[in-house]
Amino acid sequence: MSTLGKCFLVALIYATLAEDFKLKHQPASKPVRLFTEEELTRYDGSQEDEPIYMAVKGVVFDVTTGKEFYGKDAPYNALVGKDSTRAVAKMSLDPEDLTSDTTGLTDEQLESLDSIFEDTYKTKYPIVGYTASRILSADGSPNKDFKPEDQPHFQIRDEF
């Protein structure tokens, strides 16, 4: 193969890989929003024309591309339309675990939660918002521990 042919082949491979990288790592195109528990239930996969949302650790993900897992009558449909942090940590579909409450979880379960959150949800699904309980205190006042800049995929232009 000639030198020119090799250069062309290298340039073609580089362009292809660069295009793949761009497709996999695009920032959110729509601003994220705040979801109440009631609003989140609307996105439980039961309506064909609605996206499917699931919250983990108070972060709401659009899992519509995983419809075969999360859609109506799918194996993990019980996890959608709510914050299922405890269920993800315990790898459970028990109705008692379908909550954001992490009280009493073991260190191993919390490590599992962090791993699944980082390696599965953050890498596969776009973030569309946060649960109100993550940002607001029970009385509706701002949660002083919540810092948007510390949140996954936070970009100021996406928030405003």
Question: Is residue 9, in this structure, part of any structural domain at all?
Answer: no
Tokens of 6: 């090799």
Question: Is residue 14, in this structure, part of any structural domain at all?
Answer: no
- At 113 the three-state DSSP class reads helix
Q: Going by C-beta distance under 8 Å and a sequence separation of 6 or more, which residues neighbour residue 130?
A: 32, 34, 35, 58, 59, 60, 151
Quote the domain boundaries for residue 39. Answer: 33-159
Question: Is residue 27, in this structure, part of any structural domain at all?
Answer: no
pLDDT of residue 25: 43
pLDDT of residue 1: 55
Q: How many domains does the chain have?
A: 1
Question: Is residue 25, in this structure, part of any structural domain at all?
Answer: no
Question: Is residue 131, in this structure, part of any structural domain at all?
Answer: yes
**φ/ψ (deg, to 5) at 56:** -135, 125
pLDDT of residue 132: 86
Q: Please give the chain's pLDDT, 160 residues, in tens.
A: 565 444 444 444 554 445 444 444 444 456 678 899 999 999 999 998 999 999 999 999 999 999 999 999 999 999 999 999 999 999 999 999 999 999 999 999 999 999 999 999 999 999 999 998 877 777 778 777 776 655 554 444 433 3
Question: Is residue 11, in this structure, part of any structural domain at all?
Answer: no
- The CATH number given to whatever domain includes residue 45 is 3.10.120.10
**φ/ψ (deg, to 5) at 99:** -150, 165
Tokens of 28: 């959110």
Question: Is residue 8, in this structure, part of any structural domain at all?
Answer: no
pLDDT of residue 30: 65
Tokens of 32: 């994220």
Question: Is residue 85, in this structure, part of any structural domain at all?
Answer: yes
